[in-house]
Amino acid sequence: MTQLPDEYQAAELRNKAVDQLKEDGTIVSPGVEAAMRKVPRHLAVPKASLDDAYSTYNAVVTQEDERGNHTSSVSAPQIQAMQLEQAGIRPGDNVLEIGTNGPNAAYLAELAGPTGQVTTVDIDPAPAARAERFLAETGYTGVTVVVADAEDGYAKHAPYDAIVVTAGAWDIPPAWIEQLKDDGRLVAPLRINGLSRTYGFVRQDDHLLATSAHVCGFVPVQGAGSHAQQVMQLPGDKGVTLHFDEGPPANPSLLEGVLDTDRAETWTGVTVASQEPIGTLQMYLAAHVPTYCSMSIDSDLATGKIGPTGLGFSMVAIDGANFGYIVVRRDAEKKTAEFGFHAFGPDGEAFAERLASIVRAWGRDYRGGPGPRIAVYPAGTPDDRITGDRIIDKEHSRISISWPVA
C-alpha cells in the first residue's frame, strides 16, 4: 500500500499546527513558519500516531529510564517554535544545538541555509542515533551529530552565532558563553528557584542579557550539568515534603515544632481572573521571599495542619523558625481568585503579613509588566559589577534579577 495518503495527512496536520502557532502569536517570522511547514517531524517519532506527532502543544516522549522518568523527547511544536523565534537564526549562521531529537536540528538547518552550519550534541548515544537517522532520511545530511557531554559546549566548531539548548539547565556553564560570538544568542531553559523559563540571551562581553522569557518544561540536563533538588520532610508532618532548588535553610532544626504553633491566615486583597497569567507573580515571590521552596503533600500521610492551598503549585517561604505558604480562595463562580498566606511559627502572624506585602507590591507595581530583567555573569564577578534587586549564586554563574515597574 502506498504511503502517499499518510504523507498528505501529515502535511495537513503539520500546516494546521503552524496555523495555530501563527494565530496564538508563537510564530511571528516567515523563516520559522517556512521551516516548520517543511520538516516532516513525524518521521522522528514513527511509533506515535500522526495526530500525536503534530499535536501543537504536546511533546512526544521517546525515551524513559527504569523509574519512568522522561530522558528524551521531541518537544511540542509550540516549544520548538518559541525557541526558534528566540534564537533569531539567520542564513549563514553557525549554530550549536545542545540536546538532540532530529526535527529541531532540521529546523535550524533550514533557517541557517546552505551557507550555514548546524552541530547538534547529545550526551546519550540513543537520541543522537535517532537524530542521525532522521536527518539522513529527510535530507539534512549537512548537520553534524556529536555524542558528548555539552557542559563544555563543542569547541571544534566554535565560535557560534547561536546556541540553542533543548534540555532543562540549572546553571549556565562558562563554555556556553565563551563559545558564543559577541552579540551571539543563547536560548536556554534555565531553572531559577525551581521555576523554568526558556530565556533568549544575548552575549555582551563576558555576560549574558536576557531579551525574552517564556514559561516552559524540558527534560533536565544530564551529565556534569545535572542538578537534583534537595528534599526535606517538614518536621512534624510525614506527609509534607519540601523541595529546595537553590539549597535548604542554613539551620533546618529551627523548624522543629513549627506546626505546633497556631496557624496564622492573611489575605492580600490581590485577585486575578481565572485565565490570567501569573508567571511574573511566581518569579516575583521566588525572588523576594526568604528561603524559597516548593511543597508536595501526601494526603494519606499528612496531619491536616497544612490547609489546602487551592493551587496547582505550592510556593513556600522559610525564615528561621517561621514557615509560610501561599493559598487562594475563589469566588462562588470561580471567575476570580484572591491570594493569601498561611504561616506557622513564633512570629507567624507577622510573617504571613510580610509575605502578603510582597504579593501586594507585585499587584501594585509589576502586574501586567514585562517581567524581570535577567542577566548572567560568571561566578566570581564582584557585586559592584552587577546591577539588580537580587543575585542568585550558582556553581558557574551569578544571576541578577531586577524588576522594571509596569
Nearest to 369 by CA among 279, 286, 271: 279
**pLDDT tens digit string along 369-384?**
888 999 999 999 999 9
pLDDT computed for residue 64 by the predictor: 55
pLDDT computed for residue 214 by the predictor: 93
Is it the case that residue 3 has pLDDT exceeding 60?
no
Q: For residues 279 and 372, give the distance between their C-alpha atoms in angstroms, rounded to a whole number.
A: 11
Give the CA-trace dihedral at 403, 294, 308, 267, to 10 degrees: -30
**pLDDT tens digit string along 277-326?**
888 999 999 999 999 999 999 889 999 999 877 666 689 999 999 999 99
pLDDT computed for residue 138 by the predictor: 97
Percent of the chain with pLDDT over 90: 81
Arithmetic mean of pLDDT, 72-78: 84
Sort residue 257 into left (φ over 0), alpha (ψ -120 to 50) or beta: left
The pair phi, psi for residue 186, each rounded to 5°, is -120, 125
Arithmetic mean of pLDDT, 7-32: 96
The one catalytic residue in 72, 73, 75, 397 is 75
Arithmetic mean of pLDDT, 344-353: 98
Distances (CA, A) of 181 to 104, 229, 374: 22, 33, 20
Is it the case that residue 14 has pLDDT exceeding 60?
yes
pLDDT computed for residue 66 by the predictor: 64
Q: Is 75 a catalytic residue?
A: yes
